[in-house]
Structure 1
């Protein structure tokens, strides 16, 4: 597309291979000291202003010194005090529903999941000899209790009667 623009301007088309070859050939060359990579007019020293000089100083208009603000007309004094509303002063949430009663199997599964690692931790903290039956009870209790809890999870089959998969719009 760039070549087409150059052809419209009447300039010769750019030889990209020659341009790339020139860039690669000059890759390791150091620039001359004092030679800038941009025009000298764009160099700015700390004592110079950062704005480009204008051709006509009269063309620059200064910013306005004041602005016009329109205030709305208020028909009476404002009351900034908050009204006391006893109903909304404090919110007390309702009591949560009670947890469902767990059956004996679920209680023993939770006891095994929490008690197995706790048994091993007590033996380690008290620096007692850990025998094979302690490891069997600790690890086996955890694994067995976890497997029991996972196997007894609700499957959600009661929601399968909806043809749309349960989505409600």
Structure 2
């Protein structure tokens, strides 16, 4: 009965590799080392039957690389980060609006967007008349940084 619980060095190595791969995968989010676990499990079983070390390594590498090649693209496509939806003021960037209150060199103006008045300024400070079409370049706090649209009223 004692010989049943005795492990060869290769069996110990495969068990250690399995535990390390699972442990690292729990800490890191990249899902790379997890594909070594099935190969190590099969190699552990092969080592129990006395299969040579070279066959164990070949099977380990073959299974690991096959899983990386077949499954990794599928996992990446399912876990790919989607572009975040624009929310609130970020959605205004790049869009054109009409100034409802002029911008002077020393004073912010106003742009009305969906019934809400937003402060608007230019960088560097410059004057824009009320009724001027502007495009929002960025949002700083609660102020839209705008610049005049060149040409006539946008379509």
TM band (smaller chain): under 0.3
Greater helix share, 1 or 2? 2
The TM-score with structure 2 as length reference comes to 0.24
Q: Give me the TM-score of the superposition, normalised by structure 1.
A: 0.22
